[in-house]
Amino acid sequence: LKEVGTVLVKFGFEDLLVRLRLTTLLNDARNLVGIKANEQGTRPGRVRMVMDELGVVFIKWGQYLSSRDDLIPEAYIKEFTRLQDAVPPVALENIEKALQGIMDSGDLIEIAPEPLAAASIGQVHEARLCDGQEVVVKVRRPGLRKKVATDLEILAYLADLMEKHIPTLSSARPKDMVAEFSRGLISELDFTLEAVNLERFGRFYAANPKVKVPKIYRSLCSERVIVMEKVDGLKFDDHPALVAAGYDLKELARFGAEVVFEQIMVFGYFHGDPH
């Protein structure tokens, strides 16, 4: 909590700590050597910088708020949509440690040293199984569950203070928002749920040649590891590459809309993060 207070003071939010009655926290932050308020830029921009510096949970919280244009002013929405959860990659030795059981079994025999992607929750590497099959391995960042639990507790505490001491925010019910956000984030930490979802979508589209769902290697998956078939492709928003490959963009858009509506109207189960 002291770390949160220090970052708030660093970016010029002493007034918020005063309104939340966190004066002891404010005094501690002021006494830290070298702490200077950064009040450059807009207030929404500085809120985004606070979230960025505080890491995983606060970045995810900003991303969550960016979808709540029913409650958050547009200037904040614009800033929060800029939040990215790309972070420096975890060292390969730590990734290999997390994969030790699979590698010892002989099922996974090779992993690429450079990650395909490193985000706030997981890190993705290309790998190869003992039968030569190319796969993609997603590993949860080490120590993440404990850090997330601590930060969510702090976020809930701050939300409670906001409802008590800032009347203009109480109508947004920050405690309820944090509770909903927390449930979603905690479920993201359990990769078993993601594996189940992949299998379910695989069944939905088993007979549709236009939709490719990566095969999941369920016996190699766990709460913190997912192993799936490697599938090459183009990003949906990379228009020059799609045109160069001979795709009809209008047809792609039409089919993409059909897929989404089918999930909502027919399957009653939709993919919330198609990118």
Predicted confidence band of residue 170 (pLDDT cuts 50, 70, 90): confident
- The helix (run of H) or strand (run of E) holding residue 108 is strand 108-111
Look over the chain and give the mean of its residue pLDDT values, rounded to a whole number. Answer: 90
- pLDDT attached to residue 206: 94
3-state helix, strand, coil in the chain (%, to 5): 55, 10, 35
Q: Which residues of 163-187 are buried (b: 16+ CB within 10 A; e: fewer)?
A: beeeeeeeebebbebbeebbeebee
Element (DSSP H or E) covering residue 70: none
Q: Give the pLDDT of residue 34.
A: 61
Residue 85 has pLDDT above 80, yes or no: no
CB atoms within 10 A of CB 204: 18
Residue of 104, 131, 232, 273 marked active site: 273
Burial 238-274 (b: 16+ CB within 10 A, else e): eeeebeeeeeeeeeeeeeeeebeeebeeeeeeeeeee
pLDDT of residue 68: 87
Note the pLDDT of residue 156: 96
pLDDT in tens, 217-253: 999 999 999 999 999 999 888 999 999 999 999 999 9
Quick check: is 273 catalytic? yes
pLDDT tens digits, 125-162 = 999 999 999 999 999 998 899 999 999 999 999 999 99
Tokens of 239: 């228009």
86 pLDDT band, cuts 50/70/90, is confident
Average pLDDT, integer, range 7-18: 91
CB 129 within 8 A of CB 108: yes
The residue type found at 175 is K
Neighbours of 228 (CB within 10 A): 21
Tens of pLDDT, residue by residue over 48-81, are 999 999 988 999 999 999 988 888 899 999 999 9
* Whole-prediction pTM: 0.81
- Two structure tokens written together for 229: 């078939």
Decide if pLDDT at 275 tops 70: no
- Distance (Å, rounded) from C-alpha 192 to C-alpha 184? 14
